[in-house]
Amino acid sequence: MDTRAIATFDLQSDQYARYRPQYPDMLFRWLQAAVPGHQRAWDCATGTGQAAVQLSRLFARVDACDINHSQLNAAEQAANIIYLECAVEHPPYGDGVFDLITVAQSLHWFDFPRFWPHVERTLKPGGVFAAWGYDWFEVSPQVDDAMRFFRAVIEPFWSSCSQLLWDGYRYVDMPLPAIDTPVYQIDMHWNLEQLLGYLHTWSATKLCVQSLGNHVLNDAHLRLRRGWGDPAEIRRVSMPLHFIAGRKPG
């Protein structure tokens, strides 16, 4: 686990809540149909609660935990979401209480030998564990070309943990029998300010700016502005979604 990268989630949590993409409704409808009950779900490493809020519309109760206090302070509230500051490797939940356990955009940060036993312990028989994450996006040939320069600047600051996500979570060794999952894509409709806001929620971007200063990204920003054109123009930003799931026998 890269503690330096994880520490960046303390920074600008309001921007994380504002600029991070939303997950497709179809994904949650699939999760709803995949589990036999809808009483209780656990959203691990919930961040600002994006997945928890969507789950709260489908489950009677959602337990959402995160180690980051500032992220939880920025989380959207709902009457049936119980937010808790704790590590996913040390949850206080009882045995066999969850119909569903989810991890959105966070699985690659976990300490698996300490996390998986809690998944097996807290899921009900027949319950489902599901994790998903997105990585590189596409907008247009001009913007995509400009993004190569942005990524080149921040590349030395990516955590090695991110490789697990970039590999599509193919090398995650779940302790549960795998379920075939649909293929989903996130499509956001953003202006340039929203895209730049999203780029600055990346842990590598924040570490880069911390280490070298804001000016190091000036040229990359200029290239993105040129590639985008009118900054107020709304463009589709498409991101493939990597999605894995497993079911507890019983």
Per-residue pLDDT of 154-199, as tens digits, reads 999 999 999 999 999 999 999 999 999 999 999 999 999 999 999 9
- Mean of pLDDT values over 26-36: 97
4 pLDDT higher than 90: no
Q: What superfamily does domain 3-247 belong to in CATH? A: Vaccinia Virus protein VP39 (3.40.50.150)
In the structure, what pLDDT confidence band is assigned to residue 216 with cuts at 50, 70 and 90? very high
The pLDDT, as a whole number, for residue 8 is 47
Q: How far apart are CA 45 and CA 65, in angstroms?
A: 6
In the structure, what pLDDT confidence band is assigned to residue 250 with cuts at 50, 70 and 90? confident
- Mean of pLDDT values over 93-108: 97
- Mean of pLDDT values over 84-88: 97
In the chain, what are the domain boundaries?
3-247
